[in-house]
Structure 1
Amino acid sequence: MAGPGRRRLRTALTAAAVALLAALALAWYSPEAVLRAEFARQRWLAGATVVQMQAAGHRWAVLEAGQGGAGPTVLLIHGFVGSKENWLPLIRALPEHWHVLAPDLPGWNESQRLAGADYGPVAQAERLAAFIRRLPRPPDLVVGHSMGGQLGGLLAARHPELVPRLVLMSSAGVAFEENAFATAVLAGDNPFAVTDRAGLRRFLALTFADPPFVPWPLDEALVRRRRANGDFEQQVLDGIGRGPEALLLQSLLPRIRVPVLLLWCDRDRVIDASAAAVFAAGLPEARTLVLPGCGHMPLMERPPQVAEAIVGFVASPP
């Protein structure tokens, strides 16, 4: 007859097996639930929560960290096909007492999308202006990545009172040395399109110098999200990459008279680092930092270095 110790071990092993089978079943039937759980884990590590706001006729889902802290308020604007969760590695690296807001832009992810609405650069920049006006006070710093940089630049040019300082990170909105990505966009394609797991791997190889490994079922959940948004992505890319507003920001650069930090990676295969020189030539007050060995996602590939640069930029005199 088995002793009490062996029975307890057998019971524990059975419970563990049942829990494992339940987890596998959840992953199989709902990869999205596993992805949401992973984002919740990352939010916990970053000390962030998701809050809901209303602005510009849309409901916004916003990551918030450091509320009530004595530090500056920072607004983070994600890029094309990006999300508020892209900023979590950087939020973890920023000082804990900084107040950080990172919304899903209207139309994207957990924020509201309205049928027939314009989600091009100018319309989104105006929505961001409305969003900022709903805050207790304007942010001390606006940081925009890729498409988000284009929107942040338009915001600073059209509403300078709302943007005291600006970081343009791998930013769209100006002409640069044409690469394979730009050629495809100008031809009407979407090089970021993802319809299967192989497409997700291609997307990561394009945007990261050292692509991260995304295990199942997280990869399946991401693929399903991207596949469902394919038509919307194409519509937005038409506006930011090749429509009449695609290079509007370049003509407005002299109107941006606040301090600007241009932050790029030297292995960016999406928006070539030559764009930084175009921005610098048109901006009255700009400094440039190019990080080595990373691609289009410095906020995720180099969060400590990006955080250090941002902290130094905020502390520097104008």
Structure 2
Amino acid sequence: MSSELPPVPAAAEPRVSAVRVAPGEELTTVELPGRTLVVRSRPPARAGLPPALFVHGLGGSSQNWSALMQSLANELDAEALDLPGFGESPPPDDGDYSITGQARTVVRLIEARGRGPVHLAGNSMGGAVATRVAAARPDLVRSLTLVSPALPEIRIQRTAVPTGLLALPGVASLFFRMTKGWTAEDRTRGVLSLTYGDARRVDEEGYRHAVHEMERRLALPYFWDAMTRSARGIVNAYTLGGQQGLWRQAERVLAPTLLVYGGRDRLVSFRMARKAATAFRESRLLTLPDAGHVAMMEYPHIVADAVRELLAQTAELPEGEGRTVTGPPGRETHTGS
């Protein structure tokens, strides 16, 4: 394993507990040394489909990928991970919420489940995690899809500043006290307005589910700690230079890469799309002017179409050979050398 992802002792066989069923999906609890992970999946349309693993962003969960997994059920045998401390996965035993720590978790899960190489996807913080995995362990990644990846920006958007401030000591506690009177509905509306290009795209059922999930998370004793430590992990990753810098690692990714950016993203600047398309050597760029930070939730069918094109590219691209990729009208493409 690369020195950037120090090896951690892992069990030869993961201990998998009982599976409980969500609507159309399965939730499986996987016990690994120091980690208890919940993995969301849908029964594949047929046997033999290539494996995929999806990684959510800060404050998110595996549910963020449900719509895209459903759209790609005929193409992929997909799983979505609840990172430690998020969704239904409890905190990591070692309290490590760094980008490297989360990347190590993803690597251990892929290896323990014996599903690699996978088509790996990440959103926001999960995009940074997926980038680090793809750079350090190319043997585990067949393709890479990044939706608004949290890669370092020199000029942070004003609307993204509060998220970064969570990394500072005491800020989370202060924010909690200042917003103590906020209801789960208030908080949900705030999150949706921050992450969606147009929060009106969330229907009533989706909104009620989001409120219920917000109530559940706020009741967790480790909720704010996980948010704070993860925000700190993102900030720390932004400050790393040399070979461990995220942009340097992006340049080392060998897997064909799909980049998805939203024109109304309030957390990751749309202007970073071109830089990312240049950094990732074999990339295609999908820009959605009306999308926000979670394009795979807002426009799952459009993102799914782009993923299908990426899958076709991986099937046609001889190992180690670069080629120019031409996308359909309205989609920008870039191929590095």
| Shorter-normalised TM range | 0.7 to 0.9
Note closer, same or farther for the CA distance 1:56–1:258 as it changes in structure 2 (3 Å cut): farther
Instruction: State the alpha-carbon separation in 2 of the partners of residues 137 and 216 from structure 1.
Output: 35
Match of 1:232 in 2: 226
* Contact residue 51 and residue 76 of structure 2 kept, 8 A: yes
Which of 256, 270, 278 does residue 273 from structure 1 map onto?
270
Note closer, same or farther for the CA distance 1:246–1:125 as it changes in structure 2 (3 Å cut): farther
- How big is the shift at 1:224? 4.3
For these two proteins, the number of residue pairs brought into alignment is 274
Instruction: State the alpha-carbon separation in 1 of the partners of residues 278 and 75 from structure 2.
Output: 35
Instruction: State the alpha-carbon separation in 1 of the partners of residues 89 and 51 from structure 2.
Output: 21
* Contact residue 91 and residue 226 of structure 2 kept, 8 A: no
Match of 1:200 in 2: 188
Computing the radius of gyration from Cα coordinates, the structure with the larger value is 1
Listed as ranges, the gaps of 5+ residues in structure 1 are 1-36
Instruction: State the alpha-carbon separation in 2 of the partners of residues 118 and 104 from structure 1.
Output: 15
Alignment of 1:8-157 (within 5 A): 40-41=22-23, 44=24, 48-67=25-44, 69-96=47-74, 98-157=76-135
Which of 196, 204, 211 does residue 219 from structure 1 map onto?
211
What percent identity do the matched residue pairs reach?
28
Query: Normalized against structure 1, the TM-score is what?
Result: 0.78
Instruction: State the alpha-carbon separation in 1 of the partners of residues 226 and 90 from structure 2.
Output: 13
Note closer, same or farther for the CA distance 1:128–1:217 as it changes in structure 2 (3 Å cut): closer
Deviations 1:14-44 (A, max 9, x none): xxxxxxxxxxxxxxxxxxxxxxx9x933xx2
3-state secondary structure, aligned to 2:142: coil
Instruction: State the alpha-carbon separation in 2 of the partners of residues 77 and 268 from structure 1.
Output: 19
Q: Which amino acid aligns with 2:27?
A: V
Residues 1:165 and 2:165 are matched in the alignment = no
Instruction: State the alpha-carbon separation in 2 of the partners of residues 227 and 276 from structure 1.
Output: 37
Q: Which amino acid aligns with 2:271?
A: S
Match of 1:250 in 2: 247
Query: Normalized against structure 2, the TM-score is what?
Result: 0.74
* Contact residue 147 and residue 261 of structure 2 kept, 8 A: yes
Deviations 1:176-199 (A, max 9, x none): 642113333444467x98853212
- How big is the shift at 1:244? 4.7
3-state secondary structure, aligned to 1:53: strand
* Contact residue 174 and residue 279 of structure 1 kept, 8 A: no
* Contact residue 168 and residue 263 of structure 1 kept, 8 A: yes
Q: CA RMSD, aligned part only?
A: 2.6
* Contact residue 267 and residue 293 of structure 1 kept, 8 A: yes
